Structure 1
Amino acid sequence: MTRTTEETVRAFLTEVRSGRSPERADRYMASTVLAHQVRAGARVTLERGPSNYTEHVKEMLEMFGPFEFIFDELLVDGDRAYARWVQQGTHVGVIDGHAPTGQPVETIGSAVYRVAEGRIVEYWIQQDAAGLTAQLAASES
């Protein structure tokens, strides 16, 4: 049975993006996923797959430690789902050139995921890079 858009995105966020089980990305992502990213006004589209997404989440764990990932909204319309979240962790690894401070750090993000046949095939993500940079700079002062 194919998962619904809501089931796919909810499980992906809860299991994979949360950092709990990044190795499960292959359960929810197509072999090639178009990842449209907007960060501080810069737009780029990457091709992601389950293995490189797993590595991406592991890199986040190296920077933020075992973080808390709270998605506080999930809206679904057909093959698309919008999710908004807050990620709270500790600055334990280098982030954007900023040496670890051990201070709490929080990021806010959102994405729209497109699902086909129970797998994520494309997403559009936005992160609050300016907010993260401000936190990192303040903890260095």
Structure 2
Amino acid sequence: MSEQITLNRQIVHQFIEQCWNQKNLNRSEQLLSPDYVDHAYQPANQAGLIAILEQLSRSFPDHQQQILQTVAEADRVVVQLRFRATHLGEFRGIAPTGQTVDVAVYRMYRLAQGRIAEHWALFDTAGLFQQLQVSLDGQKACQR
């Protein structure tokens, strides 16, 4: 594995640990490129990412993402994660249930010049709603 691929993996792991798990949003300034594009959240930039991190921290204050697998090639890094949390705040109009959730997440990152330039995500929203014991409503499920 090339040094650059190894470095890319490390940057993504740092980002997940420091920004998502430790909720240190200031680190995003150093880990994301100035022209960062987020294909999962709105707005499709750093502000959208910060907004979802803040929302998840209010809804699931103990949320953690455990990295299960990482695949890296060239400028791309894909991670398979487990999102574990307790629903203690309103989420997409759903009042806190106190339920513990364990949900699959897949993220792909493109890196450029030692920073994360793009992000895509697949989150098992149906699994989350099932664990919260609420019906899957298209409007709630499709919000970014």
TM-score (structure 2 length as normaliser) = 0.80
Runs (5+) with no aligned partner, structure 1: 38-43
Match of 2:39 in 1: 36
Higher relative contact order (CA 8 A, sep 6+): 1
Q: Structure 1 CA distance, aligned partners of 2:108 and 2:77?
A: 5
Alignment-mate amino acid for residue 90 of structure 1: T
Match of 1:95 in 2: 91
Structure 2 vs 1, CA of residues 45 and 79 (structure 1 numbering), >3 Å: closer, same or farther? Answer: farther
**Identity among equivalent pairs (%):** 24
Alpha-carbon shift at residue 11 of structure 1 (Å): 0.8
SS of the residue corresponding to residue 100 of structure 1 reads coil
Alignment-mate amino acid for residue 36 of structure 2: V
Q: 1:47 aligns with which of 44, 47, 62?
A: 44
Coordinate RMSD, CA, aligned: 2.3
- The structure richer in strand per residue is 1
Pairing of 1:43-122 with structure 2 (within 5 A): 46-49=43-46, 51-122=47-118
In the alignment of these two chains, the number of paired residues is 131
8 Å Cα contact 2:12/2:77 also seen in 1? yes
TM-score (structure 1 length as normaliser) = 0.81
8 Å Cα contact 1:35/1:124 also seen in 2? yes
Regions of 4+ moved over 6 Å = none
8 Å Cα contact 1:19/1:66 also seen in 2? no
Match of 1:137 in 2: 133
Q: 1:16 aligns with which of 6, 16, 19?
A: 19
Alpha-carbon shift at residue 112 of structure 1 (Å): 1.0
Q: Structure 2 CA distance, aligned partners of 1:110 and 1:100?
A: 25
Match of 1:125 in 2: 121
